[in-house]
Amino acid sequence: MLYIKCPFCGDRDETEYHYGGEAHIARPENPDELTDAEWAEYVFMRTNTKGVHRERWVHSDGCRRWFNVARNTVTNEIVSVYKTGEKPDLPEASTSKPAPAKKTSAKKKEGA
Amino acid sequence: MTEQFRTTQGSRVDRSKAINFTFNGKNYKGVEGDTLASALIANGVHLVGRSFKTHRPRGILTCGSEEPNAIIQLETGPRSEPNLRATQVELYEGLSAKSVNCWPSVNFDIAAVNAIAGRIFVAGFYYKTFMKPSSLWMTVWEPAIRRMAGLGVLPREKDPDTYDHMNEFCEVMVVGSGPAGLSAALAAGRTGARVVLCDEHPEFGGTLLNTKEIIDGKPAQEWVKTAVAELEAMDNVRLLKRANAFGYYDHNYITVHERRTDHFGPGAKPELTRQRIWHFRSKQVVLATGSHERPLVFADNDRPGTMLAAAGQTYANRYGALPGRRGVVFTNNDSAYSVAIDLVDAGMDIPTVVDLREVVDGDLPNTARKKGIEVITGSGIVATLGRKRVKGVEIATVSSDGSQVTGTKRKIDCDTILSSGGWSPAVHLFSQSIGKLRYDEEKVCFVPNVSSQNERTVGACKGSFDLQSALDEGAAAGAAAAKDTGFGKGKAPASPKALVVEEKPIKAYWVVPTDHPVGQGKRKHFVDFQHDVTAADIMLAAREGMHSVEHMKRYTTTGMATDQGKLSNVNGLAILSSQLEKAIPKVGTTTFRPPYTPVNFGALAGRGINGDLADPVRRTPMYSWHLENGATFEPVGQWQRAWYYPKAGEDMHAAVTRETAALRDGVGILDASTLGKIDIQGKDAAKFLNLIYTNAWLKLPVGMCRYGFMLKEDGMVFDDGVTSRLGENHFHMTTTTGGAAGVLDWLEEYLQTEWPDLEVYCTSVTEEWSTLSIGGPKARQLLEELAPDMDFSNENFPFMAWRDGVVAGVDARVFRISFTGDLSYEINVRNWHGLHLWKKCMELGEKYDITPYGTETMHVLRAEKGFVIVGQETDGTQTPQDLGMDWIVAKKKGDFVGRRSFIREDTARADRKQLVGLMTDNPKEVLTEGAQLTYERVNPTPAPMVGHVTSSYWSPNLDHSIAMALVKDGHNRMGQWIYAHDRGKVTKVKIVSPVFYDPKGERRDG
Amino acid sequence: MVDNFRNSIIADKAQAMINGSVSGENGVTLTEVPFLAQVNIRGNADDKKFVAGVKKVTGLKVPTDPNTYVTKGDLTVFWLGPNEWQLVGAVDAQADLIAKLREALDGLHVAIIDVSGNRTALDLSGAQARNVMKKSCRLDMDPQSFSVGQAVQTRVEKAPVLLQMLNDQPTYRMFVRPSFAEYLVDWLLDAMGEYHHSS
């Protein structure tokens, strides 16, 4: 059972949270301009990282805020916890597999 | 019987306090302080069980939780407990136990013929033998194997005991209370940090209670006493004995199983919970879990009377019980010499120590020699004599590489063999914490290498086997761990001085040879005693291609018994490694998983053991009325919803028929309080709804409601509900009962991560309101009586409108929406007014014969109208178009969640599975929900499945069964006949519109 | 005005709570505190007008420290999240509070929602209350971690609650959704059972 530090409420058991999948995948602003492949990249494709993985969690039983967790998927070590809209550099981030290089043509928002 | 093997002085038992107990039907006496195992040994009883496969006689091998042989069933009746280790069961007056793995008795075991046919029980035997024919598995093989190899019997009665769980937080958790653990707890405790010390034994002190070591010039037990007294005096220290730390999980989450009352005897302390699971979150952990002695693997090394050397020492020193009269010690290391010395001092005859090493010149061996013990070097036990008890051994010189016997055999009479193959650090918890191990060639064992969590290992658990190191490492780790949590300066307190006798190196020696090559002849070299795995089995597995340690483990079942291979893992691995001619570190280790020792289901269940507290049962404010009026209930998630209200003599069919008729002809009342409700407000609220619903919301007038679909980005329906505009910037959303929490999280995710600029607040108000639905042609008349000040005319309160007012004397919000197709109102009042309103409705509705109805009738009525239920008609792979609801998708409003996916090739396919109605040829036949559908009656196999039945009911209003289904290309196949399959039965069905009743919607205005 | 139409969802548990409570110095008691006024407030704590508006009505500055509450007279304001608070007051006070708050905060991006029915309150009190909480809640209940002035949204066993450390007796006040109330009462009474024997 993970012990996650909500950036607002502090340390709580995993049971208070829900998992929200990989973080920093911004919704394209103009979906109509995307090809099927580009849209599928946004909707379906994830990195499946071995190592430090940035992911979204929501503190459902607490403050109901969404936030980000950088977690090592091998050891479950939590390297960093940060608020939505932030994206700190991580010392161990180099161990994670980079996201696919292919980018959509649509403009993406920063750090959502 | 007298305790003929009880010594007369020394030890920690109280000889003046006799305890009567029964084992395998015979009466014995033990004394206070005994375990069942020590009491049996004091009575000369070694034969305690039969082996798992070949039913060979087995004796007590160890003195702790690693015991593989002395597995017993304790007591009978509802408190009976199977598979306990006699080495851990504390003796109490009247204790009654029996061996688990023998039938009809331990002395005469019918299945021992297996031993004669033993050659067939080789590695992979089960895979090779019982699999074919598969039809015999459940009927013949499985029950037979169960009886022969049965591991005790679970009581059939309800467990009369209570169990509980406790959550605790601390700065430093110390597991194990030997010299290292006590030192660590003292050092950490003195800093003021919250410290927990737990130990699986009934006394603190670990191995110091078993040996004759000297600390600060005095017997070590005196230091233990002082240390425990100091710890007990500290308010910041929690001491838990009889408490087994069985799981080390992520983020220093450690679970401990405490046996609180078992040692008093069953039911002796009803005021206490019998056992407790402690859930600790500790900032720092110190593992001082000690080590396990390994048995040597020699010919017929399982005869009762064969024991691990240190266990024999413990029985003599701690319990005053001699393992036998005359024993031979067999070793590859120096530690066994202290055993020989102590046993001689305790009064046992130890004529010989057989040592596999060529040169033996350490201090301990020399002390042994001075006591007159013969030390035979470069030799091994190559055969044992006796069946139900060791009668003697044959020893001979053996080659240094273990390949063969090199000398002539010499026979020594004895009733006990004390074997030591070296020590394996108890790295189980360390390994569970994902710590990485390293193989230490010199110490011949795996030791902790890299920690993965905030944890330190100390003492024997770290491979530091000498007492001074344990004391020093414990003190240093305790102080450092406390400092890391902000307590103390990290300086280790001076540790006491132990009298250390230097030990010479151990010699790795994995299989001791005998007359024949291993695996030939009748002699067996046991590696895993509990699962009857021999060295030959592992060698065969290697020859058959099981080169991975994980494959070997599963193929031979080494380490897979309830002892989890505490004694066998390293030996098994080493044998595999020599077969493969690969170094041990290259072969790798298997993974240790929780629990460290078996834990009662009762303890794991805790207060939920009787089921009623296991999970919340959520109730609406009207629940008590439903209960008093005979409702049956249906669980919907955690909610209990009224299902139907049978009158006397009615079955479900009759009740639902009556309830549906009332709704179509009179008036019915439903408790709909479980619907999710979300308050949405802010200047961008309408814009937000436009983004998360498929239809258009900007122009919805205040005072009106609208039905909406939410999709995930893949275009698939995820939730639905009616949302009402309360004000220009204020909406009241409803969700499905099960979807409420998920929808709120999902709305917040979009608001917080994608559109943080939108000024919208979402707040759950699900339980602020209780909701009653009043439906049927007479609903308006009833409402007019309930709320005389409100106007319920069609003109002023049209369909899909809401109005505030006073209903039955309390503030209410009334929505004119319908899930039945008939005139219907949903009345929302404060949660605490729900019961009052319901009762008032029943009172005023009596003259209309108002009929309470439950979820079943609701389902029938909505199915007659073809209304979908998200989660029943959908499974996350249906678009609105698939459901025939293209009308709910706005074409011009622009982007919304999921919209882009509609034009994906797969989503846009014309022949997707689509929602249709089904009519059976025989009107009385009700299809089975979930039945698979095919286009043709007879199909090639595998048959092409084209869909399934999602909902199916008897419709009293139509006097015909009705069903809804998802059918591939269904919308283009209206009027066609297809086939529904249910376990061999084939039913011809016609594809029709899913709207079976009142297709023009003429009834909704009453 | 007395509201005769009001029923607590756990009214039928009142006797069980009396029977299940353990009196004496080493005891623990469980009681319901029903029908408290509760108002959910959403707004921006960085906006001086918002803070001033709430203070004008309640006399209290909305707390911005996580897991805290502030009290004045009958009124308590709980921090629920960075833009969410809960105002709790005496029975039937909600209508007046809501009207005044809406007036004081008019024109701001706020939400003032009556949630008086959304949760009822249970008080667990006495020397053994902390142990009962330790059996039920996966938060650090020791005084150095959870003390008077603190309140958290968490779970007590499997029921979501707003948990307030009310006083040093200690008394824990749990605001729980009505649908979970019976389960929570049953759970707590069961956990309290052990202390009938020790007092």
pLDDT band at A103 (very low <50, low <70, confident <90, very high): very low
pLDDT tens digits for B249-301? 999 999 999 999 999 999 888 888 999 999 999 999 999 999 999 999 999 99
Query: What is the distance between the alpha carbons of residues B1000 and A111, in angstroms, rounded to a whole number?
Result: 51
∠ CA B972-B974-B977 to the nearest 5 degrees? 115
Chain C neighbors of A16, CB-CB under 8 A: 154-155
Nearest beta carbon to residue C67 from set A10, A64, A65:
A10
Helix, strand, or coil (residue B149):
helix
Query: What is the distance between the alpha carbons of residues B761 and B677, in angstroms, rounded to a whole number?
Result: 14
Beta carbons within 8 Å of B425's beta carbon, 6+ residues apart = B289, B290, B291, B445, B446, B447, B448, B457, B460, B461, B462, B463
C13-34+118-193: CATH topology: Gyrase A; domain 2 (3.30.1360)
Size of interface A-C (CB pairs under 8 A): 35
Residue type, B414: C
Dihedral sign for Cα A78, A83, A84, A89, please: negative
CB proximity B937 to A under 8 Å: no
The predicted pLDDT at position B133 comes to 56
CB proximity B831 to A under 8 Å: no
| A62/C152 touch (CB, cutoff 8 Å), yes or no | yes
Dihedral sign for Cα B743, B745, B747, B753, please: negative
Q: Cα dist. B141→B135, B145, B367, B819 in Å?
A: 10, 6, 56, 55
Query: What is the distance between the alpha carbons of residues C72 and C123, in angstroms, rounded to a whole number?
Result: 19
The predicted pLDDT at position B609 comes to 78
CA distance B612 to chain A (A): 21
pLDDT tens digits for B808-829? 999 999 999 999 999 999 999 9
Restricting to C residues 98-127, those with a Cβ less than 8 Å away from any Cβ of B are 109-111, 113-119
Q: Which residue has the tokens 């080390």?
A: B248
Q: Give me the torsion for CA of B592, B595, B596, B600, rounded to 10°.
A: -160
- Please tell me chain B's helix, strand, coil percentages from 3-state DSSP, rounded to the nearest 5: 25, 30, 45
For residue B684, what are its two tokens? 């961008």
Name the DSSP class of B579.
H
pLDDT tens digits for B973-986? 999 999 999 988 99
Average pLDDT of span B8-30: 95
pLDDT band at C86 (very low <50, low <70, confident <90, very high): very high
Find chains touching chain C: ≥3 CB pairs under 8 Å.
A, B
Q: Which residue of A has its CA nearest to B908?
A: A36
Chain-centroid distance of CA C158 in Å reads 17
| C153/A9 touch (CB, cutoff 8 Å), yes or no | yes
Report chain B's mean pLDDT, rounded to a whole number: 93
Q: Cα dist. B744→B698, B872, B932 in Å?
A: 21, 21, 34
Phi first, then psi: give them for residue B859, nearest 5 degrees. Answer: -65, -40
Q: Which residue has the tokens 């990195």?
A: A47
pLDDT tens digits for B933-991? 999 988 777 889 999 999 999 999 999 999 999 999 999 999 999 999 998 899 999 99
Query: What is the distance between the alpha carbons of residues B820 and B776, in angstroms, rounded to a whole number?
Result: 9
CA distance B232 to chain C (A): 19
C197 vs B255, residue with greater confidence: B255
Average pLDDT of span B51-74: 92
Element (H, E) at B240: strand B237-240
Spatial CA neighbour of A64 closest among B752, C68, C87: B752
| A8/C81 touch (CB, cutoff 8 Å), yes or no | yes
Chain B neighbors of A37, CB-CB under 8 A: none
pLDDT band at B128 (very low <50, low <70, confident <90, very high): low
CB proximity A81 to B under 8 Å: no
∠ CA B62-B64-B67 to the nearest 5 degrees? 55
CA distance A64 to chain C (A): 7
Strands (E) in B346-389, as ranges, are 349-355, 374-376, 379-385
What is the DSSP pairing of strand B47-50 with strand B57-59?
Answer: antiparallel
Q: Which residue of B has its CA nearest to A68?
A: B753
The predicted pLDDT at position B731 comes to 98
Restricting to C residues 61-80, those with a Cβ less than 8 Å away from any Cβ of B are none
Query: What is the distance between the alpha carbons of residues B171 and B197, in angstroms, rounded to a whole number?
Result: 11
Asked, as a colleague might, if the bond just before B942 is cis with ω within 30 of 0, I would say: yes
Q: Are B965 and B866 in contact (CB under 8 A)?
A: no
Interface test with A, best of B248, B761, B900 (most A CBs within 10 A): B900
pLDDT band at B116 (very low <50, low <70, confident <90, very high): low
Domain boundaries, given as residue ranges, for chain C: 13-34+118-193, 37-114
CB proximity B278 to C under 8 Å: no
Nearest beta carbon to residue B166 from set C135, C142, C159:
C135
Average pLDDT of span B750-777: 97
CA distance C71 to chain B (A): 23
Name the DSSP class of B576.
H
Complex ipTM value: 0.97
Q: Are B409 and B394 in contact (CB under 8 A)?
A: yes
CB proximity A15 to C under 8 Å: yes
C-beta atoms surrounding B685 within 10 Å: 26
Q: Are C35 and C116 in contact (CB under 8 A)?
A: yes
The predicted pLDDT at position B341 comes to 98
We find that the CATH architecture of domain C37-114 is 2-Layer Sandwich (3.30)
Interface test with A, best of B251, B714, B895 (most A CBs within 10 A): B251
Query: What is the distance between the alpha carbons of residues C103 and C83, in angstroms, rounded to a whole number?
Result: 19
Cα R_g (chain A), whole angstroms: 15
The predicted pLDDT at position B105 comes to 67
A3-95: CATH topology: Folate-binding fold (3.30.2270)
| C67/A9 touch (CB, cutoff 8 Å), yes or no | yes
C-beta atoms surrounding B451 within 10 Å: 16
CA distance C152 to chain B (A): 17
For residue B151, what are its two tokens? 């591991």
CA distance C19 to chain A (A): 31
Q: Cα dist. A8→A66, B101, B746, C163 in Å?
A: 10, 56, 19, 16
CB proximity C159 to B under 8 Å: yes
Chain C neighbors of B765, CB-CB under 8 A: 113, 115, 118
pLDDT at A110 over 60: no
Beta carbons within 8 Å of B92's beta carbon, 6+ residues apart = B19, B21, B263, B264, B265, B268
DSSP string, A14-65: GGG-EEEEES--PPPS-GGGS-HHHHHHHHT-----SSEEEEEEE-TTTT--
Find chains touching chain A: ≥3 CB pairs under 8 Å.
B, C
| A63/C81 touch (CB, cutoff 8 Å), yes or no | yes
Cα R_g (chain C), whole angstroms: 17
Nearest beta carbon to residue A3 from set B281, B452, B756:
B281
Element (H, E) at B482: helix B467-484
Query: What is the distance between the alpha carbons of residues C7 and B625, in angstroms, rounded to a whole number?
Result: 12
pLDDT tens digits for B698-722? 999 999 999 999 999 999 999 999 9
Q: pTM of the full predicted structure?
A: 0.93
| B714/A44 touch (CB, cutoff 8 Å), yes or no | yes
Structural domains in chain B plus CATH codes: 14-108 (3.10.20.440), 163-291+425-484 (3.50.50.60), 295-417 (3.50.50.60), 518-580 (1.10.10.1100), 625-673+768-861 (3.30.1360.120), 676-764 (3.30.70.1400), 910-1006 (2.40.30.110)
Nearest beta carbon to residue A2 from set B250, B714, B900:
B250
Spatial CA neighbour of B840 closest among B808, B874, B872, B865: B808
Chain C neighbors of B273, CB-CB under 8 A: 194
CB proximity A51 to B under 8 Å: no
Sheet strand arrangement including B379-385: B379-385, B392-397, B410-413
pLDDT at B113 over 90: no
The predicted pLDDT at position B124 comes to 65
| C154/A10 touch (CB, cutoff 8 Å), yes or no | no
CA distance A15 to chain C (A): 9
Q: If phi over 0 gives left and psi between -120 and 50 gives alpha, with beta otherwise, what is residue B794?
A: alpha
DSSP string, B707-726: EEEEE-TTS-EEEEEEEEEE
CB proximity B613 to C under 8 Å: yes
For residue B855, what are its two tokens? 């979820």
pLDDT tens digits for B411-457? 999 999 999 999 999 999 999 999 999 999 999 999 999 999 999 99
CA distance C114 to chain A (A): 19
Sheet strand arrangement including B717-727: B705-711, B717-727, B730-735, B676-681, B761-764
| A3/B250 touch (CB, cutoff 8 Å), yes or no | yes
Residue type, B732: H
Burial A20-55 (b: 16+ CB within 10 A, else e): beebebbbbeebeebeeebbbbbbeeeeebebbbbb
Q: Could you give the percent of chain B with pLDDT greater than 70? A: 95
What is the DSSP pairing of strand B533-534 with strand C159-167?
Answer: unpaired
